[in-house]
């Protein structure tokens, strides 16, 4: 009986407590920079697409929402002919970002992607491609990797930088 | 009072009750939000008041469905019985001097009789739905009413002994000097608890018990019939609050403000208390409810009645 009365009193005092609700459309929470939201395709410092159409993201995707077709330009550099993410299926797990060997595909802190029609949730390459370098500025896949040959180690050739210890790049 | 004025007052009262019932759906959610550190509906209109209209619109556009397996006439009748049984007692409530529909000399008994009728609404709704959860809810309602009806009436008899009348108007008049909650604190507490059980509010909402038996007796109801059940719950809450004000808190009495305003303020505070209790306390278990009723409150009520009678006899009032 006493505990009931006390509960009522404590509950009454909560009238003066701060409310925890975040009034979403009016006030938005600050998202951490590594928030897994909308997926983008980044470019390297030279302004070229980083994606080499290796299909690893597509393979890693647990819901199979990434679809792409590889193509080669005149220099033999691979790029995706089309790159399509169906965001009505995407679960924002970030496995594609982890699988990507070139840091091309990245998840950014943006989640306001609501659409009226399901069809509009499918993002094509031009929707995904951004003009920036994303979370890894200055990184160029073609300049930090390569094969060591006789008399010339990895990253010692012209236009190459010494290779990076992959353990340092782990997010 | 002339019959014409009486009819006008009846209609005005009905309209006010409907508005209050609708308003309380919003007030309750806002207050629960306040006490649970959240907001509740606050987006439609100022402070979210227009949520009421949104709800009414939603309920009106819902399919008004009667299950094939239901007992149709009773199914339709049950919500109506509920609403009538909670609206009718307002006929004897005295809002302010002169503002009343009728001052029956057995007003209190009329209230008790009508409030017992609500159980028919609940039980018939549960029975007519022909649904096991609805039936369980109906049975619970009946058991709860039988247990709590007994000392609900008896807890008020202390007031009747002191006032020496069943007429609500006269009871208020007698509280000119001292409000009766001072004479009858035990009676007040017991009537509060019984009132909670009577209106099927938490912590005694066993007939509904959303988390156990879907929605209890109104599981099968939809659209406006469902709304009528809700409306009668809120009107019932208003009724109990108004009655407590009349019996224990001096009705319209109070300084400075006009009498009717005092009545409204007191009733509103009590309604807020009902909502606070809902926000604070969890639901009682079925056997706990019965135990509290029969073993705890009934003997206490009888003792209170005995003591009141003895004191009144000794003083020779």
- Residue B277 contacts A where some CB pair is shorter than 8 Å: yes
Q: Please give the Cα distance from B249 to B175 (Å, whole number).
A: 8
Chain A residues in contact with B277 (beta carbon < 8 A): 8
What is the chain B residue with the closest CA to A3? B281
Report the C-alpha gap between B74 and B290 in whole angstroms. Answer: 28
The DSSP annotation for B122-134 comes to: HHHHHHHHT-HHH
Cα atoms found within 13 Å of the Cα of residue B17, Cβ hemisphere only:
27
Query: Given a cut of 60, is residue B245 above it in pLDDT?
Result: yes
The residue in chain B having the minimum alpha-carbon distance to the alpha carbon of residue A12 is B35
**Any domain includes B172:** yes
Q: Is residue B49 a part of any domain in this protein?
A: no
Tell me if chain B has a CB within 8 Å of the CB of A75.
no
User: Given B37, B39, B276, which is nearest A8 (Cβ)?
Assistant: B276
Please name the member of B33, B39, B279 whose beta carbon is closest to the beta carbon of A11: B279
* pLDDT beyond 70 at B317: no
**pLDDT score for A63:** 92
Is A131 touching B (CB cutoff 8 A)? Answer: no
Report which of A28, A21, A23 is spatially closest to residue A112, judged by C-alpha positions: A28
Residues of A (3-22) whose Cβ lies below 8 Å from B: 4, 7-8, 10-12, 14-15, 17-21
pLDDT in tens, B35-55: 888 888 888 878 888 888 888
CA distance A118 to chain B (A): 26
Q: Which of B143, B120, B124 minimizes the C-alpha distance to B73? A: B124
In the structure encoding, which two tokens stand for residue A74, read together? 């005149």
Of B36, B39, B281, the CB nearest to A4: B281
**Closest to A93 in 3D by CA, of A60, A67, A124, A117:** A60
**pTM of the complete model:** 0.77
- Please tell me if residue B34 touches chain A, with a CB cutoff of 8 Å: yes
**Does B31 map to a domain?**
no
Q: How far apart are CA B24 and CA B298, in angstroms?
A: 31
- Among A141, A140, A149, A135, residue whose Cα is nearest residue A94: A135
Q: Which of B37, B277, B281 sits opposite A14 (nearest CB)?
A: B37
Boundaries of domain holding B171: 69-314
CB contact under 8 A, A17 and B37: yes
Neighbours of A21 (CB within 10 A): 13
B290 touches chain A (CB under 8 A): no
**pLDDT string in tens for chain A (171-residue length):** 788 888 888 888 888 888 888 888 888 888 888 889 889 999 888 888 888 888 999 999 999 999 999 888 888 888 899 999 999 999 999 899 999 888 889 998 888 888 899 988 999 988 888 888 888 888 887 776 556 777 777 767 777 677 667 777 776
Q: Is A95 left (phi over 0), alpha (psi -120 to 50) or beta?
A: alpha
Integer Cα distance of A128 and A105 in angstroms: 9
Residue B299 pLDDT > 70: yes
Burial zone of B174 (CB within 10 Å; 0-12 exposed, 13-18 middle, 19+ buried): middle
Q: Is residue B2 part of a domain?
A: no
Chain B segment 44-83 residues within 8 A of A by beta carbon are none
Q: CA separation (Å) from A117 to A85, A92, A125, B55? A: 15, 20, 19, 27
CA nearest neighbour of B198 among B151, B230, B157, B158: B151
Strand residue runs (E) in B152-208: none
Interface test mutation site (partner A, options B35, B196, B272, B296, max chain A beta carbons within 10 A): B35
Is the peptide bond preceding residue B54 cis, with omega within 30 degrees of 0?
Answer: no
B38/A contact by beta carbon, under 8 A: yes
- The HSE-up count of residue A84 (CA atoms within 13 Å, CB side) is 12
Instruction: Please say whether the dihedral angle defined by the alpha carbons of residues B132, B138, B144 and B146, taken in this order, is positive or negative.
Output: negative
Compute chain A's Rg from CA coordinates: 23
By the CB < 8 Å criterion, does B300 face chain A? no
Q: Which residue of B has its CA nearest to A25?
A: B43
CB contact under 8 A, B37 and A23: no
Contact between B102 and B2 (Cβ < 8 Å): no
Residues of A in contact with B34 (CB under 8 A): 14-15, 19
Q: How far apart are CA A48 and CA A133, in angstroms?
A: 10
Torsion-angle region of A148 (φ positive above 0: left; ψ -120 to 50: alpha; else: beta): beta
A8–chain B nearest CA distance, Å: 5
The structure tokens 């990184």 sit at: A139
Q: What is the pLDDT of residue B1?
A: 60
Instruction: Report the residue of chain B nearest A9, measured CA to CA.
Output: B280
Give tens-digit pLDDT for B198-221.
888 878 888 787 778 887 788 888
Count of domains for chain B: 1
- Rounded to an integer, the average pLDDT of B270-279 is 89
Is B242 within a domain?
yes
Minimal Cβ distance to A12: which of B39, B276, B281:
B276
User: CA–CA separation, B315 vs B300, rounded Å?
Assistant: 22
Give chain A positions within 8 Å (CB) of B35.
11-12, 14-15
Contacts A20 to B, Cβ<8 Å: 37-38
- The CA-based diameter of chain A, rounded to the nearest angstrom, is 87
User: How many residues are given for chain A?
Assistant: 171
């Amino acid at each position: 009986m006493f505990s009931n009365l006390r509960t009522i009193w404590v509950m009454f005092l909560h009238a003066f407590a701060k409310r925890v609700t975040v009034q979403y459309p009016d006030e938005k929470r600050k998202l951490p920079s590594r928030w897994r939201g909308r997926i983008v395709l980044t470019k390297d410092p030279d302004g070229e697409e980083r994606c080499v159409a290796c299909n690893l993201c597509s393979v890693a995707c647990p819901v199979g929402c990434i679809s792409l077709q590889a193509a080669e330009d005149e220099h033999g550099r691979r790029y995706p002919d089309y790159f399509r993410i169906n965001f009505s299926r995407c679960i924002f797990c970030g496995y594609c970002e982890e699988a990507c060997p070139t840091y091309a595909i990245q998840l950014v802190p943006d989640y306001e992607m609501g659409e009226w029609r399901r069809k509009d949730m499918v993002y094509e390459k031009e929707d995904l491609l951004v003009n920036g370098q994303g979370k890894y500025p200055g990184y160029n896949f073609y300049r930090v990797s390569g094969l060591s040959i006789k008399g010339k180690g990895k990253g010692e050739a012209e236009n190459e930088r010494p290779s990076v210890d992959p353990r340092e790049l782990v997010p | 009072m002339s019959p014409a004025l009486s009819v006008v007052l009846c209609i005005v009262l009905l309209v006010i009750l409907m508005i209050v019932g609708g308003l309380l759906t919003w007030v309750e959610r806002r207050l629960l939000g306040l006490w649970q550190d959240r907001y509740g509906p606050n987006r439609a209109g100022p402070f979210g008041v227009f949520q009421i209209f949104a709800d009414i619109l939603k309920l009106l556009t819902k399919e008004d469905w009667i299950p094939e397996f239901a007992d149709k006439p009773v199914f339709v009748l049950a919500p109506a019985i509920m609403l009538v049984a909670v609206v009718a007692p307002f006929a004897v409530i005295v809002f302010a001097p002169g503002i009343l529909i009728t001052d029956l000399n057995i007003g209190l008994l009329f209230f008790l009789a009508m409030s017992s009728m609500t159980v028919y609404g609940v039980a018939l709704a549960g029975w007519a739905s022909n649904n096991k959860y609805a039936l369980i809810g109906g049975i619970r309602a009946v058991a709860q009413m039988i247990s709590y009806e007994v000392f609900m009436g008896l807890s008020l008899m202390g007031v009747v002994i002191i006032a020496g009348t069943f007429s609500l108007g006269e009871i208020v008049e007698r509280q000119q000097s001292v409000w009766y909650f001072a004479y009858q604190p035990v009676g007040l507490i017991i009537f509060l608890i019984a009132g909670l059980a009577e209106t099927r509010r938490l912590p005694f909402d066993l007939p509904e018990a959303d988390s156990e038996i879907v929605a209890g007796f109104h599981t099968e109801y939809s659209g406006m019939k469902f709304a009528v059940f809700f409306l009668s719950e809120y009107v019932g809450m208003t009724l109990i609050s108004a009655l407590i004000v009349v019996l224990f808190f001096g009705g319209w009495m109070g300084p400075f403000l006009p009498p009717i305003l005092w009545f409204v303020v007191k009733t509103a505070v009590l309604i807020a208390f009902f909502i606070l209790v809902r926000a604070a306390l969890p639901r009682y278990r079925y056997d706990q409810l019965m135990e509290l009723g029969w073993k705890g409150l009934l003997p206490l009520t009888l003792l209170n009645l005995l003591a009141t009678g003895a004191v009144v006899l000794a003083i020779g009032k």
